[in-house]
Amino acid sequence: MKFVISEEQRALAEAIDQVIESVGGTAVARAASEGDAAPARALWEQLAELGLLGLCIDEADGGMGGTPVDLIVAFERLGYHAAPGPYLESAALLPDLVDPALRESLADGSVIATAAIPGFVPYALDAQLCSQQFIVTEDSITPAGAGEGQESIDAARTLHELVPAGPAAALDPQAVALAIDRATLGSAAMLLGAGERLLEEAVAYAKLREQFGRVIGEYQGLKHQLANVRVALTFARPLLKGAALDLGTPAGERSVSAAKVAASDAAILAARTALQVHGAIGYTQEHDLSLWLTRVHALASAWGTGRYHRSRIAASILAPAAILSPAS
C-alpha cells in the first residue's frame, strides 16, 4: 500500500533534520528574522548537497527524480524547523517552468530563485537571497527585478514586488497549473510540519510549567485543547498523502486544495493553542514559539487562501456534472 511512508522516505526526513540541526536548527530562522541571511544561505547549500533542491527534478536533469510523496515528506521537515528561504519557489514551482540549464542550477543549489504569481502569490519571497526572480502567469514566465523588501507577519520572510526585466516566454498552461499545485502541496506540508512542532512545543511546556502546585498539563482545560490539535493534525495528514498520490491526475486540483485547507486550519489551531498554553512567554518575540506562530499565518494566506481553495473544491464537487464524472 502506498499509504505507508517507506524506509527511504523516513531516511530522507531524518537526513533533513540532521542537516538543519547541524546548521543551528531554529537559529537559522532566528538569524533571518534579524536580517542575517548567512545561516540561511549556508543551510541552502547543505540541503542542495543532500539533493533537496533537485527533489522534484528528473535524474536526467541533475535532480533526484523524487515523487510528490517525497516532496511532502521533505517539506514537512522544513516547516517543522521553520527553515527560511524560497524553497517552494526554487524546488517545487520553478523547475518545470524554466530552461534545462537553469533547472540544473536550481537542482545543485548554485542558483536560488524566487517568483511571484500575480493574483495568487503577489509578492516574491526572499529576493535578497536570490540571483533570479520570475513573474509566472497562467501561460508565461518573465524574468524580473525585485523591488525593495517589505515586512511580513513572519519576521523571517521578506516580500518583494517584481517588475518585468526581460521578454516573456510562453508556457503550457497545464504545466503551470501542475507546478503551482506542486508548490501549494509543499506549502501544505510545511504547515503540517509547523503544526506538529507547535503541538510538540506546547505539550513539552505543559509538562514543565507549574501553577497551583501542579504542572498545567494535568488540567483538562488544556488537555482537551491539545487533544483537539492532535485530532486536527492527524486528519490533515492523510489528505496530504492523498493529494500527493493524486497530483497530476484529474482529481489532483481538488485534492491539493483539500490538503491546503486542512493543513492551514490545523496549523492555525495548533498556533492558537500553543500560544494559549504558553501564556505570556509565548507572546514574546524572544521565545522561539514566535517563529512558527507567525510562519503559520504567512503560509496560510500564501499559495491560495482558504477561500480560494474552498471555491476550487466547490467548483469540482458541487457542479452536477462533476459528481457524475470526477474526471471533468
Q: Which residues bind another protein (CB under 8 A)?
A: 1-4, 199, 203, 206-207, 214-215, 217-220, 222-224, 226-228, 230-231, 234-239, 241-242, 245-246, 251, 255, 258, 261-262, 310, 313-314, 317-318, 320, 323
Whole-angstrom Cα distance, residue 73 to residue 80?
Answer: 11
Q: What does the alpha-carbon distance between residue 28 and residue 43 come to, in Å, rounded to a whole number?
A: 8
Residue 42 vs 251, nearer CB to another protein: 251
Residue 28 to residue 88: CA distance in whole angstroms:
17
In the complex, the smallest distance separating the C-beta of residue 247 from another protein, rounded to whole angstroms, is 11
- Pick between residue 177 and residue 313 the one whose CB is nearest to another protein: 313
Shortest distance, position 144 Cβ to another protein, whole Å: 35
What is the rounded distance in angstroms from the CA atom of residue 232 to the CA atom of residue 255? Answer: 17
Distance CA 116, CA 134 (A): 7
Closest CB to another protein among residues 169, 245: 245
Q: Which is nearer to another protein, 82 or 236 (CB)?
A: 236
**Bridge partners, residue 169, by sequence:** 141
**CB-wise, 129 or 236, nearer to another protein?**
236
Least Cβ distance, residue 234 to another protein (angstroms)? 5
Burial 188-211 (b: 16+ CB within 10 A, else e): bbbbbbbbbbbbebbbebbeeeee
Closest separation in Å from C-beta 65 to another protein? 19
- What's at 289, amino acid-wise? L
Residue 31 has which C-alpha cell? 538569524
Question: C-beta of 321: minimal distance to another protein in Å?
Answer: 11
